[in-house]
């Protein structure tokens, strides 16, 4: 009897002592195909490999030159294979559609830059992003458009609502100015948001106080940006 009670206490202690892993599901949506001169796809995914007894954090960094007119579904098939080989759990629906999807489970961070005919949408499936940050390595010559769609749900009656935020980025835009612009535009739309750091932003509530439960982010630009999303 005493041994049984001791075993139960150990199990309960193990459950309560386990750290809470900051992770969630992310959907990568890729539209279009590589241009006539090919395309460079750069992606960094940090996720938990949950197969071992002790889950471990793995990071996969990819820099892939894709041949001309390669479809978005073929690009995601390659990314899927590389992520799975590193221990990241993914789900890739079988589809011939122009817009291809790849679901990354137990993700902690996704950082990506694509262009030359390809457009990427990053969607957090299980809550708001911990941060959204846009970066660029050089001065861009063209304007860009950032689109954010957030789904909110009431914690009182379960009703849902959607908000859409569009921000035009000038050629001189940088991470801090974008974060500030998002915060101001969100406020004008009646959203609640904050800036975890000077160069990042995240939505918290949309509409009349609906808590954000998912968020999609994409950018249209002739010059590719780094889109950095944390969970």
Between CA 11 and CA 121 the distance in angstroms is: 41
Whether 164 has a pLDDT exceeding 60, the answer reads yes
Whether 7 has a pLDDT exceeding 60, the answer reads no
pTM for this model (two decimals): 0.86
Quote the tokens at residue 2.
């005493």
Task: Kindly state the percentage of the chain with pLDDT values over 90.
Answer: 66
Q: Within its chain, how far is the Cα of 98 from the centroid?
A: 20
What would the pLDDT profile of 186-217 be if each residue is shown by its tens digit?
A: 999 999 999 999 999 999 999 888 999 999 99
pLDDT of residue 47: 95
pLDDT of residue 3: 34
pLDDT-derived band at 111, boundaries 50, 70, 90: very high
Whether 5 has a pLDDT exceeding 90, the answer reads no
Between CA 69 and CA 32 the distance in angstroms is: 9
Q: Is residue 99 left, alpha or beta, with left meaning phi > 0 and alpha meaning psi from -120 to 50?
A: beta
Q: Note whether 226 and 121 are within 8 A (CB).
A: no
Between CA 45 and CA 113 the distance in angstroms is: 12
């Amino acid at each position: 009897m005493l041994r049984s009670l001791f075993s139960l206490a150990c199990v309960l202690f193990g459950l309560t002592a386990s750290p809470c892993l900051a992770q969630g599901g992310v959907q990568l949506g890729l539209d279009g195909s590589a241009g006539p001169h090919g395309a460079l796809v750069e992606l960094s995914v940090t996720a938990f490999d949950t197969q071992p007894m002790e889950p471990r954090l793995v990071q996969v960094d990819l820099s892939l030159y894709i041949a001309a007119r390669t479809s978005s579904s073929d690009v995601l098939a390659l990314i899927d294979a590389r992520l799975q080989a590193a221990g990241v759990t993914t789900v890739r629906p079988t589809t011939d559609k122009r817009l291809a999807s790849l679901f990354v489970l137990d993700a902690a961070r996704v950082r990506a830059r694509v262009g030359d005919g390809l457009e990427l949408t990053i969607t957090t499936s299980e809550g708001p992003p911990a941060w959204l940050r846009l970066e660029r390595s050089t001065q861009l010559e063209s304007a860009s458009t950032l689109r954010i769609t957030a789904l909110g749900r009431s914690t009182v009656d379960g009703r849902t609502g959607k908000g859409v935020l569009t921000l035009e980025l000038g050629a001189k835009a940088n991470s801090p100015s974008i974060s500030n612009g998002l915060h101001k535009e969100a406020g004008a739309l009646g959203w609640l948001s904050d800036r975890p750091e000077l160069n990042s932003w995240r939505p918290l509530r949309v509409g009349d106080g609906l808590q954000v439960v998912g968020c999609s982010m994409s950018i249209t630009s002739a010059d590719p940006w780094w889109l950095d999303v944390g969970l």
